Amino acid sequence: MPATTPTPTFTPPPRLTPTTAKSTPSAPTGPVALEAARLTQGGDPRLTYRFDRTVLGAGKELKVPSSGSLMEVARLGTSVLATTAAGELVKVDSAGAVVRRTPHVMTLTGTADQSAVAYATTPAVVVGQQTYGATLYAETGGSPKSVELPDVQSIYVLAYAKDKVYYKASVKGAETTLKLYAWTPGAAKPVLVKTVVGDTLAVSSDGRLASSLPANNKGDGCSTVVEIATGRKRFKTCDYRISAFTPDSAVAIATPAYGDSYCSNIITALDSRSGAIEHQWSGCFYRAVAEDDQHVLMVAVVAGGGQDPNTKSTVVRCSLDTAACERATEIVTAKQIDFAR
């Protein structure tokens, strides 16, 4: 078995709230309106994030050499992996040098402890022809493990959780249907996850929960949260789209079910058992993820937005206990601000 690249140890900044068990919040009276420019400055994000091609947080600051924009980033020990808009996976070592380039990679994810990553290669697209096949990889610092998926037409890696790689894919004969699969690196083939039906949106980092949209053509935007092991449905909401979970799976992070703008106007924290609203924040947000069990990080627009090259944004940290917020980064002018997957 290849040796795992040691994960660097980082000293986290002071927390926004104490690391005590969350109290039961009272029913919110409405979304908390965020004016990001007026928030106090707090500690840096404890997750890996990026400003354009510069990767920061949870490790050494590194710039990914690329002529185009980046799509997804993940840390593997002291290295950074990133996919580009051109479909190339770039691996950068701790000195900032490119040590590997892998073509035809459009999907990438990693573990929260930065000990493993998963990605998939697909054939080059040929105009006017159906192309099938993919190779799924899992890497822990040594030689990657892989599995061939000859019938796959499209594939998206969702999570590397509890030693399993979760991905959704369509296959030959059912090109318009996406299903959820789980692969244990080293196994001869993946397993279809029959307990989760429809288009999977997110899998929790502990591998317990998944959210999905229904498998129909009615434009139904209702999200369902399901226990992966049993298929038990926790709740269904037609108001929100579940995009992430806290590491302990207690809270589901959601955006509005139907968007009509370049950003989400509300971020909602829902109890993952009942679907009850715990907190909401209003503003203009590009992305929201759980930083830990008690905090959510959001990319908030301060000025501009859309295609405006002078758009100013910041990462905001909000407490899932009190709903109080602070800035986790300075306000910057950057074309892309995103979190690692």
Quick one: pLDDT at residue 181?
98
Asked whether the whole model's pTM tops 0.85, one would answer yes
CA–CA distance from 104 to each of 155, 166, 277 (Å)?
A: 12, 19, 41
Write out pLDDT tens, residues 117-155.
999 999 987 777 888 999 999 999 888 999 999 999 999
Q: What share of the chain is helix, strand, coil (3-state, %, to 5)?
A: 0, 50, 50
Quick one: pLDDT at residue 120?
98
For residue 119, what are the β-bridge partners? Answer: 108, 137
Q: Is 238 exposed, middle or buried (0-12, 13-18, 19+ CB in 10 A)?
A: exposed
Please give the average per-residue pLDDT across 42-55, as a whole number.
96
Cβ count near 176 (within 10 Å): 9
Tokens of 270: 């829902």
Q: How far is CA 92 from the centre of its chain?
A: 20
Q: Which residues contact 209 (CB under 8 A, 6 or more apart)?
A: 203, 225, 226, 227, 228, 234, 245, 249, 252, 272
Tokens of 273: 């058992």
CA distance 104 to 116: 20
Q: Inform me whether the pLDDT recorded for 13 exceeds 70.
A: no
Of 50, 44, 45, 122, give the one whose Cα is nearest residue 81. Answer: 50
Quick one: pLDDT at residue 198?
93
Q: Inform me whether the pLDDT recorded for 195 exceeds 90.
A: yes
Q: Inform me whether the pLDDT recorded for 16 exceeds 80.
A: no
